[in-house]
Structure 1
C-alpha cells in the first residue's frame, strides 16, 4: 500500500578527513538496508544491511571511509571521510508495528567539503615600472566552492589595509604607482575554513623626478644663487627614484663631478657660471636635469 510508505529527504555536509553520522530514523528499524548512489549515476549499491541477524557490511563500504554501524541503532558513522563518499545514501527501514509493516525511505544527500589549502600568490611582475599593469592571483590547490578572497596591503611603516575582496582570485592594478610599493597577502575562505598566503613584496620602479639642488651657504636673488669668494660651497642634488639615482654634475655644460654632493673648496670668481645636475635611473635608463646659476662675488 503506497500510503504505508514514507519518504524523508535531507542533506548533510561533511568535511574530508572528519567524521559524520548518517541517521536512519530516531528508532532502530527491524530490517534495514543502506544503499549508496554515486553522483551522476542512478544505480543504488548496497553498503550495509541487517535482516535481523546483525549488520553486514558490503565490499562497497571500504571505499566510502571507515564505516561503522552505531550500536543500538541503524545509523552509520563514517570516520576519516574521503571525497569518494559524496553522494546519495538511502536507508530502507522496515518497522513491524501493531498496525502492520511500515516502510520508510530515508534519503540523505551527503556533500563532502574540502577545506581551502594554504594559498600561494602568483605575481605578474615583482618590480614593474610606474604606470604598468600588474595582476596578482591567489592560487589554491584545494577548496570546495564557493570561495571568497581578500587581499591585504601592508606599507613599509606597517600600516595594513584591505585593497580587494570578493569571489575572484585575481587582483588587478591598472596603473601602479610608487605608492603601491609594499607587501601583499591574500586570504582564501570557504564554509569550512580560511587560510592566508605568505606575504609577497611589490617594488615599483620609478623616476628620476626633477632633481632638487641645495646650495650651502648661499644668498639668492632673482638671477640665481650668490656666494662669497673663498668660501667652501656645497651643491647637493637629490631626485626621487627607485632604484636610487646616479648623479653627474656639469659646469657650463662640461662634466666636472660624479655623485650627489659636489663641493668646491675656496670658491673663486672664476667659478661663476651655470651648474647642472643630471640624475639617472640606470634600471629604466631615464634621466632628468636641474640647472642653477651661481655667482661668486667679492666683498
Structure 2
C-alpha cells in the first residue's frame, strides 16, 4: 500500500514539474506590437504547442474558451475574436485602443499559463497649429500657440523654430504635455516659422507653419558719409550720407542740420559742391509708428579749404633765388677789389 502511494505521489509530482516546465518555456508572441487601430493581431504560442482546451482573457475579462473543436466567444468580442483549436493562437480583428492590455492564455492540458502585453494606437491625422494672435510687440507681448490633432493616441510633441528645436527656458514654456507653446516677452528673433511635429510609434505628422509679426525698434542706428567714417571734407566735395536702422515696420527717416529739420526724408542725404557754411552737426531721426518709439544718430561734418602748406615754401624759394644770385655776385666783386 505504501509503495502504491509513493508511486502515485511521484506521478503527480512529475506531472506538476512537467506543467511548470512547459508553462515557463512557452511564450505568447503578438504578430505586431504596437498595433494600429482597425488592423488584426494574432497572439501565437512559441514554441508551437497543441492544446485541446483552454481560455484567453485580457486583464480580468474573458475573451473566449475552447474545448476540442468547440469554442465560445464572449459577447463583447463576438465577431472579432477566434482561436486556432490546434495551436491555441488567438486572432483579434478590428482592434481598438481599448484592446490594449495584458493577454493571458491558460490550459489545463499541460498546466499552461502565459501572457503578453500589446498596445493598440490610433494613427495621427490632421496636425493643426493655432496662435492666439500673430501681431506682437517686442518685450511687451507673449506668443501662445496650441497644437492639436484630429485623431491619434500616445502623442509626443516637438516644436521647431525654423530648423532649430524649441526647448523650455526662462522665456519659453511647454505645457499640456508639450502641446502648448508660450513665449513670454517676445523678441525680434521669435518670428518663426514655427511648426509642431506630432508622433507616436505608428505614425507622425507636422503642422503648417505659423509666423509672428513682431514690431520692434528703431534701434542699432548707423551713419556713414561717402561709405566711410571720415567727417572732414574739402570745399566743393559731393557728400552722400547713409542712415541705417533696425526697425519693423521700417522706420520713417528724417534729417536735421544743426538741430533744424531739412526737407529730406529717407535713408539718403546728398550734398553737392559743399561750402564751409555747411559744416556742422547732421542728424538722422527715426520713428516707428507701431511702437511709437524714436531714435537718432548724429555726426559732425567739417568742410575746409585745401591746405597751402605744400605750395608756399616752393613760391618763396622761387622768389629768393634771383636775390641770392645777386648777393653772391656782389661778394665775388668785393673779393677782387
TM-score by length of 1: 0.69
Q: Is 1:86 matched up with 2:92?
A: no
Query: Following the alignment from structure 1 to structure 2, what is the Cα–Cα distance between the partners of residues 248 and 110?
Result: 71
Match of 2:299 among 285, 292, 297: 292
Match of 1:29 among 31, 51, 54: 51
Contact kept? 2:29, 2:44, Cα under 8 Å: no
Query: Following the alignment from structure 2 to structure 1, what is the Cα–Cα distance between the partners of residues 289 and 245?
Result: 13
Give the alignment's Cα RMSD to 1 decimal.
4.0
Query: Following the alignment from structure 2 to structure 1, what is the Cα–Cα distance between the partners of residues 220 and 54?
Result: 85
Offset of 1:247 from its aligned partner? Answer: 0.7
Contact kept? 1:70, 1:76, Cα under 8 Å: yes
Query: Following the alignment from structure 1 to structure 2, what is the Cα–Cα distance between the partners of residues 116 and 80?
Result: 17
Bigger relative contact order (CA 8 A; separation at least 6): 1
Contact kept? 1:24, 1:93, Cα under 8 Å: no
Query: Following the alignment from structure 2 to structure 1, what is the Cα–Cα distance between the partners of residues 166 and 229?
Result: 48
Offset of 1:289 from its aligned partner? Answer: 1.0
Query: Following the alignment from structure 1 to structure 2, what is the Cα–Cα distance between the partners of residues 148 and 48?
Result: 35
Q: Is 1:280 matched up with 2:287?
A: yes
Query: Following the alignment from structure 1 to structure 2, what is the Cα–Cα distance between the partners of residues 247 and 116?
Result: 51
The structure carrying a bigger helix percent of its residues is 2
Query: Following the alignment from structure 1 to structure 2, what is the Cα–Cα distance between the partners of residues 203 and 215?
Result: 33
**Contiguous gaps of at least 5 residues in structure 1:** 96-101, 155-159
Secondary structure in 1 aligned to 2:77? helix
Partner of residue 67, structure 1: 81
Query: Following the alignment from structure 1 to structure 2, what is the Cα–Cα distance between the partners of residues 162 and 33?
Result: 50
**Contiguous gaps of at least 5 residues in structure 2:** 1-11, 169-173, 307-337
Query: Following the alignment from structure 1 to structure 2, what is the Cα–Cα distance between the partners of residues 206 and 217?
Result: 26
Structure number with greater Rg is 2
TM-score by length of 2: 0.63
Contact kept? 1:36, 1:89, Cα under 8 Å: yes
Query: Following the alignment from structure 1 to structure 2, what is the Cα–Cα distance between the partners of residues 291 and 82?
Result: 72
Offset of 1:249 from its aligned partner? Answer: 1.5
Query: Following the alignment from structure 1 to structure 2, what is the Cα–Cα distance between the partners of residues 115 and 139?
Result: 13
Query: Following the alignment from structure 2 to structure 1, what is the Cα–Cα distance between the partners of residues 237 and 85?
Result: 101
Query: Following the alignment from structure 1 to structure 2, what is the Cα–Cα distance between the partners of residues 210 and 93?
Result: 80
Residues 74-100 of structure 1, C-alpha deviations (whole Å, 9 max, x = no match): 2222233222323565545342xxxxx
Query: Following the alignment from structure 2 to structure 1, what is the Cα–Cα distance between the partners of residues 147 and 261?
Result: 53
Query: Following the alignment from structure 2 to structure 1, what is the Cα–Cα distance between the partners of residues 52 and 165?
Result: 58
Matches within 5 A, 1:142-221: 142-145=151-154, 147-154=155-162, 160-164=163-167, 168-216=178-226, 220=230
Secondary structure in 1 aligned to 2:300? strand
Query: Following the alignment from structure 2 to structure 1, what is the Cα–Cα distance between the partners of residues 91 and 202?
Result: 20
The structure carrying a bigger strand percent of its residues is 1
Contact kept? 2:158, 2:165, Cα under 8 Å: yes
Contact kept? 2:237, 2:272, Cα under 8 Å: yes
Number of residue pairs matched?
Answer: 274
Match of 2:247 among 241, 252, 270: 241
